[in-house]
Amino acid sequence: MPFYQSRTAQFVLFTLFIYVLTFASVYFAISSSISFLQVTIKLTQGFNIIIISIFSIINSIILWKFSNYLLFGELRLIEYEHVLERLPFTVINMVFMSSMFNEHDIFTTIILSLLLLYMKVSNWILRDRLESLLQTVNDSTTIFNLIFSTQFFFNLILFSLIDYLMMNFCISNSLLSNSNIGSSASVYLLMGMEFTMLLVDLFNILCHSILNIYEFYKSSLVSLDTHLTSEDEEDDESGFNGLEGKFIYEKIIDTFTRFLKTIIHILLLIPFAMPVMLSKDVVIDLVTLSQNINTIWKIWVNNRKLDDQLPTVTQHQLDSMEDKICIICMDDLSINSIQKNFEKRKPKMLPCGHILHMNCLKNWMERSQTCPMCRLPVFNEKGEVLPTRRERATTPEPSTSTSSDSEENEEWVSFPIETIDDSTITFNLANDDGRILKSRLLINSTTDTTQNSDDILGLKQKINQLQDQINQLNKNMKPIDEKENILLSHTE
């Protein structure tokens, strides 16, 4: 805490110093002027404009801290980190946007930019608060408490109202031929577009919130059904393991909101021929939109392949397992076809041999394309499901073979291999009497003498080169040694 307290003390002292300078600037401007216009001109020139700007920034920070404390309370460490990660890029982007306008737009641009920055930071914190809200859900939580016991939805409505009013204000002023403030239409149009983007982001947060509330509602129904079910009766839905396909629903929401942002950026470029720098937003939106669409398509195709190409585990295979538990949901694996939702809960064998529930596997594959236990890939480079161990076992096993000494006799005899390791191959031989003879073939690894000889010659050449360099250095050192001896003799 000493470091934090020292920074706070420095900020307080700097704030008091700026307040004194601002008061002095205003006092001298008023005392040396005869009209309000002259006071305004003096405050917007020279060193006074720097003091007024710093004064505005400090008061904006104080107002932002106070309003955030009222709306969010104490911020978590991860929320501070996310704000600090995104803030530099956002500020730099706003500075570049402000440089595109004329000098008479500077004050309007600064005021709207500060308000826009505040709303962006609030949106970032609100999105993090959604994750924090979901982490606090427990067995005693109800939907009513989830919606009305926190400030999350109040902040969501409040920010949506502010963004809508600012969007309406900016667009209305951009359509007027003569604005009261005197700024050009492009300033208000650009700021109106930015507030519209914030409104789209809030719509994205609202959709994610509704999706999570629906998942919580399904979970509460399953919990209620579990309590009403007799303990002696086998309940196949004893645990709710998340909404199936939730990840793809979230991707669809993100894709739709990204599509809305792309349309807004394109519509902004068409009538007003905005600077080329703004076209980067269109490029970023198009790239992100194509990536989201490609992700959704791959998830949908992979889910169909998992259901069609992965084998369903038989009762014999399930009985041979020591641990009959799905590692994802921690529920028992069962192939009882009369249970509810058997198509979703049926056990599937991965190419590595591990067994999981079908719905658990789909939820996992939406985020990772590997086995959750051994991390081996499930799909090959072409996007096809790899064959399982069972399928690979049906392919012809490698075997040792021999032939007669005569080249005319093309009959081969196969000897089945039992084990193979790095140095030994074990297989069975059968004689004419039908007796099985266990045989073993030793593998002697030999090195390539030609390669070794080439390596030795290369090392010898390098040694000779180093020796020549040493000799050359010794020759160069002889004149230096002679000069040093001469100097020593003169000094003596």
- pLDDT for 231-256, tens place per residue? 444 444 445 556 777 888 888 999 99
- Residue intervals of the chain classified under CATH 3.30.40.10 are 310-393
- Name the DSSP letter for residue 426: E
pLDDT of residue 23: 92
Answer yes or no: is pLDDT of 333 > 70. yes
Q: Which of 32-46, 212-226, 393-407 has the lowest mean pLDDT?
A: 393-407
**CATH number for the domain running over 310-393:** 3.30.40.10
- Within 8 A by CB and 6+ apart from 205, the residues are 123, 126, 127, 130, 156
Question: pLDDT digits over 435-450, tens only?
Answer: 666 667 666 555 444 4
User: What is the rounded CA–CA span in Å between residue 106 and residue 53?
Assistant: 11
Both tokens assigned to 18 = 């700026």
Q: What is the mean pLDDT of residues 397-421?
A: 49
Q: Could you tell me which residue, 37 or 323, shows the higher pLDDT?
A: 37
Going by C-beta distance under 8 Å and a sequence separation of 6 or more, which residues neighbour residue 305? 379, 383, 384, 385
Please, which residues have CB within 8 angstroms of residue 490's CB and are 6 or more apart in sequence? none
Roughly how many angstroms between the first and final C-alpha of the chain, as a whole number? Answer: 67
Q: Is the pLDDT of residue 214 over 90?
A: no
R_g of the chain, CA atoms, integer Å: 38
Across-strand partners of 400? 415
pTM, entire model? 0.66
Instruction: Specify the higher pLDDT residue, 182 or 197.
Output: 197
pLDDT attached to residue 133: 84
Is pLDDT above 80 for 395?
Answer: no
3-state SS of the chain: helix, strand, coil percent to 5?
65, 10, 25
Strand-strand pairing, 355-357 and 399-403: unpaired
> Over pLDDT 70: what percentage of the chain?
70
Q: Is the pLDDT of residue 396 over 60?
A: no
Q: Please, which pLDDT band fits residue 203 given cuts at 50, 70 and 90?
A: very high
**CA–CA gap between residue 342 and residue 336 (Å, rounded):** 8
For residues 123 and 201, is the Cβ–Cβ distance under 8 A? yes
Query: Is the pLDDT assigned to residue 219 strictly greater than 70?
Result: yes
| Mean pLDDT calculated for residue range 429-438 | 60
What six digits make up the tokens of 465? 């080169």
The average pLDDT across 294-309 equals 80
Can you tell me the distance from the alpha carbon of 418 to that of 440, in angstroms, rounded to the nearest whole number? Answer: 10
Confidence of residue 373 (pLDDT cuts 50, 70, 90): confident
- Predicted local distance difference test score (pLDDT) of residue 450: 47
Joined tokens for residue 432: 């004419």
DSSP state string for 100-151: TS-GGGHHHHHHHHHHHHHHHHHHHHHHHHHHHHHHT--TT--HHHHHHSSS
Which tokens hold the place of 246?
């939730």
pLDDT in tens, 444-488: 555 444 455 556 766 766 777 777 777 777 777 766 666 666 655
Give me the pLDDT at residue 233, please.
46
The encoded tokens of residue 176 equal 């007027």
- What does the mean pLDDT of the chain come to? 75
Strand partners, 439: 427
By C-alpha distance, which of 265, 420, 298, 320 is closest to 367?
Answer: 298
Which tokens hold the place of 459? 């090392």
Does residue 283 have a pLDDT over 80?
yes
Note the pLDDT of residue 275: 60
Span 7-26, pLDDT tens digits: 788 888 999 999 999 999 89
207 pLDDT above the threshold of 90: yes
Judge whether residue 152 has pLDDT over 80. yes
Contact 302, 282 (CB under 8 A): no
Per-residue model confidence (pLDDT) at position 195: 92
CB atoms within 10 A of CB 319: 8
Q: Give the mean model confidence (pLDDT) for residues 299-325.
A: 77
Q: How much is the pLDDT for 375?
A: 79
**Phi and psi, residue 301, nearest 5°:** -65, -45
* pLDDT in the model for residue 399: 46
The pLDDT > 90 percentage for the chain reads: 12
User: In the predicted model, is pLDDT for residue 328 greater than 80?
Assistant: no
Is 374 or 17 the better-scoring residue by pLDDT? 17
Would you place residue 229 in the very low, low, confident or very high pLDDT band (cuts 50, 70, 90)? low
